[in-house]
Amino acid sequence: MKFKTIIEPFKIKVVEPIKFTTEQEREEILKKAGYNVFNIPAEDVIIDLLTDSGTNAMSSKQWAGIMDGDESYAGSKSFFRFESVVRKITGFKHIIPVHQGRAAEKILFSIVAGPGKYIPNNTHFDTTRANIEFVGGNAVDLPIPEGIQPDLWHPFKGNMDVERLENFIKEKGPENIPLVMLTVTNNSNGGQPVSMQNIREVREVCDKYGIPLFLDACRFAENAYFIKKREKGYENKTIFEIAREMFSYADGCTMSAKKDAFANIG
Ligand SMILES: *Cc1c(COP(=O)(O)O)cnc(C)c1O
CA 21 to ligand 1 center in whole angstroms: 30
Separation of CA 5 and ligand 1 centre (Å): 34
Query: Mean of the pLDDT values across residues 189-215?
Result: 97
pLDDT for 266 beyond 70? no
Strands across the sheet containing 252-254: 138-141, 118-121, 180-183, 213-216, 252-254
Q: What is the pLDDT of residue 261?
A: 65
Boundaries of domain holding 236 = 92-254
Q: Which CATH number covers residue 217?
A: 3.40.640.10
Ligand 1 first shell, C-beta below 6 A: 53, 100-102, 125, 127-128, 183, 187, 216, 218, 256, 258-259
Name the residue of 52, 99, 131, 256 to mutate for ligand 1: max ligand atoms within 8 A of Cβ. Answer: 256
Compute the radius of gyration of the chain from its Cα atoms.
Answer: 21
Residues 125-134: tens digit of each pLDDT: 999 999 999 9
Single-letter code of the amino acid located at 24: Q
The answer to whether position 110 is within a domain reads: yes
Q: How many CB atoms lie within 10 A of CB 119?
A: 24
d(CA 105, CA 119) in angstroms, rounded, equals: 12
Would 45 be classed as within a structural domain? no
For residue 108, how far is its CA from the centre of ligand 1 (angstroms)?
A: 14
In a domain, 140, yes or no: yes
Residue whose CB lies within 8 A of the most ligand 1 atoms, among 50, 51, 53, 160, for a mutation test = 53
Q: Which helix (H) or strand (E) holds 121?
A: strand 118-121
- 152-173 pLDDT, tens per residue? 999 999 999 999 999 999 999 9
d(CA 102, CA 127): 6
Say how many Å lie between the CA of residue 255 and the centre of ligand 1. 7
For atom 10 of ligand 1, the residue with the nearest CA is 101
Q: What is the pLDDT confidence band of residue 263, given thresholds at 50, 70 and 90?
A: confident
The model carries a pTM of: 0.90
Q: What is the pLDDT of residue 58?
A: 86
Residue 72 domain-assigned (yes or no):
no
Q: How many domains does the chain have?
A: 1
Q: Render pLDDT for 31-70 as a digit per residue (tens, 0 to 9).
A: 999 999 899 999 999 998 888 888 888 889 888 888 999 9
Question: What sign for the dihedral angle of Cα 200, 215, 85, 74?
Answer: positive
Task: For Cα atoms 205, 207, 209, give the angle at the middle one, nearest 5 degrees.
Answer: 75
pLDDT confidence of residue 168: 98
* 5 within domain boundaries: no
Q: Is it the case that residue 260 has pLDDT exceeding 80?
A: no
